[in-house]
A and B are shown apart, each in its own frame.
Chain A
Amino acid sequence: MNKRLIYIAVWLALLAPLPAVIVFGVTAFNPIEYIERNLGLWGLRFLIIGLVITPMARIFRRPTLIRYRRTVGLFAFTYVLLHWLSYIVLDLYFDWPVILKDIYKRPFITIGMAAFVALIPLAVTSTDALRRRLGPVIWERLHQLIYLIVPAGLVHYWLMVKADHRSQLAYGSIIIALLAWRITDKAQAAARRRARAAEKAARTAA
């Protein structure tokens, strides 16, 4: 298949929600609330899709899927950044005293802000050059932050709602399943390594 065509399709799919949010937003009765919430929601969705890629690649034995993970992650970051900007600019219009008080006093904003800040180094270190300079060990360590960031995003979303957490429960179940897959996958890999080591030891002894 044509790699370039696939890339274009992925880009278009990742870009599509943005004009949709803006068009539906400006016609909504409360445009600022609509735009702010939906940008955040798309950020969370794409972060989750980013977490789906590795298990998919492994389960369906399609290692080339990993190629799209960075694109998805960077788009997720872009939506989160726009969500953050809509809060700062559209919602509170640079009212820094109120913003700082929000961050300090309100757990859902504290958590959301922390998750946003933690995403920045991941986005910055996504270039090939920086990835090489950091080396695989440090780069992997750093990017494991995503396993804290995505649950933090969900908690941020959960705490924002007064009642009716059905959609949060749905997103939460998906996130738990994806993290659980990684834990069992790691455990299995470790078990395989131990078995191989034991086999090797047995052979050398014999």
Chain B
Amino acid sequence: MLIRHAADLSENDVTDQGLYRRRREFMTGAIAMGSAGVLGLPELARAAPLTTVKSAYTVDETLTPKDAVSGYNNFYEFGTDKDEPAKNAGSLKPRPWTVVVDGLCAKPQRFDIDALIKRFPIEERIYRHRCVEAWSMVIPWNGFPLAALLNAVQPTAKAKFVSFTTLLDPKQMPGQNENYVPWPYREGLRLDEAMNPLTLLAVGLYGETLPNQNGAPIRLVVPWKYGFKGAKSIVKISLVENQPQTSWNMINAREYGFYSNVNPAVDHPRWSQASERRIGDFFRHKTLPFNGYADQVVKLYTGMDLKRFY
């Protein structure tokens, strides 16, 4: 038997990465479809594995189990109880999906979700997640920095803010038939916050594509802000000149500011933000300024009164 040495192999002998990736996708797709057919599962319940790279963005804390991360959610598009998103999000169709990036930029574009996932390396980033309701998790997200996408469309000098819009479709999102939130859900960041390397567009968690109830197929993760800043199931990202309207601020401006940085010194009017309940733990944890990410983000707010700009 002839064993060839590496030197004998030319570039032509190597299967193109795109090709073998497609084979893998085809196989996992076929397997998933087969088992979904047999088990009668909704087509959307299947999570596809993602090829991810490790990143330096990690915390040395116990991960919140996956069933809690995808079973205890605030996603009012599918109901206001924590267990309702997991029960009701089956009606969301995360494929095909297009994300429009427009506004004050040189190259406004529409991106297909799968093209986006191929275009940017998908990193694994373990972030603390702190809900404004004073509970928290530690979540291994898979995604790419928002800055990478924004750089691709080249924001103009006039762009100062970024707005995010969630899908509006009451057929897929039954909660939108109720009017407790001015739909569609919208969020926003200052451009420098959006460009911070911590700011992530997540397309998966625990190495698989996002479960619907976590904001499939693409959501924002801003780990130094309260969780509601992380708009889910995003269809549009716009570069704008003025501070955009944000949903919770529209509902109750006194309780939910535009910035909503995690801040143990500024209480929510109805509860203290000094401590948090880590899902899975009995005793409360002390809440850290900027959720423990002060080193990376405090410079964004120099000279700002964070009690006023909460």
A interface with B by C-beta (< 8 Å): 29-30, 32-33, 92-93, 98, 101-102, 105-108, 159-160, 162-166
Q: How far is the CA of A93 from the CA of B270 in the complex (A)?
A: 19
From B68, B267, B269, B277, A33 is in contact (CB under 8 Å) with B277
Known: A29-B72, A30-B82, A102-B272. A163 touches B279 (CB 8 A): no
- B251 near A163 (CB under 8 angstroms)? yes
From A92, A98, A160, B270 is in contact (CB under 8 Å) with A160
For the complex formed, measure the closest distance between the CB of A110 and the CB atoms of chain B, giving whole angstroms: 11
Q: Which 3 A-B pairs have the closest CB atoms?
A: A29-B72, A163-B180, A164-B80
Q: How far is the CA of A161 from the CA of B17 in the complex (A)?
A: 51
Known: A30-B82, A163-B76. A98 touches B274 (CB 8 A): yes
Q: How far is the CA of A101 from the CA of B274 in the complex (A)?
A: 12
Q: How far is the CA of A162 from the CA of B178 in the complex (A)?
A: 14
- A30 near B80 (CB under 8 angstroms)? no
| Interface SS of chain A | helix
Interface: B271 (CB within 8 A): yes
Interface: B10 (CB within 8 A): no
Contacts of B80 in A (CB 8 A): 163-164
Contacts of A92 in B (CB 8 A): 284
List residues of B (244-291) whose CB comes within 8 Å of A's CBs: 248, 251-252, 255, 267, 269-272, 274-275, 277, 279, 282-284
Closest B residue by C-beta to A32: B277
- A106 near B180 (CB under 8 angstroms)? no
Contacts of A165 in B (CB 8 A): 180
Closest B residue by C-beta to A34: B82
Interface: B30 (CB within 8 A): no
Known: A30-B277, A93-B284. A108 touches B181 (CB 8 A): no
Interface: B71 (CB within 8 A): yes
Contacts of A32 in B (CB 8 A): 277, 282
- B135 near A30 (CB under 8 angstroms)? yes
13 more A-B contacts (CB under 8 A) besides A106-B270, A164-B178?
A29-B67, A29-B72, A29-B279, A30-B279, A33-B135, A33-B277, A98-B272, A106-B269, A106-B271, A107-B270, A162-B133, A162-B255, A166-B178
Q: How far is the CA of A160 from the CA of B269 in the complex (A)?
A: 11
- B68 near A29 (CB under 8 angstroms)? yes
- A159 near B270 (CB under 8 angstroms)? yes
Known: A163-B251, A164-B80, A164-B180. A29 touches B272 (CB 8 A): no
From B67, B252, B272, A101 is in contact (CB under 8 Å) with B272
- B71 near A29 (CB under 8 angstroms)? yes
- A29 near B82 (CB under 8 angstroms)? yes
Contacts of A166 in B (CB 8 A): 178
Contacts of B135 in A (CB 8 A): 30, 33
Q: How far is the CA of A98 from the CA of B72 in the complex (A)?
A: 26
What are 5 residue pairs bridging A and B, where the CB atoms are less than 8 Å apart in the complex?
A92-B284, A93-B283, A98-B274, A101-B272, A163-B180
For the complex formed, measure the closest distance between the CB of A108 and the CB atoms of chain B, giving whole angstroms: 6
Closest B residue by C-beta to A108: B270
Q: How far is the CA of A30 from the CA of B65 in the complex (A)?
A: 12
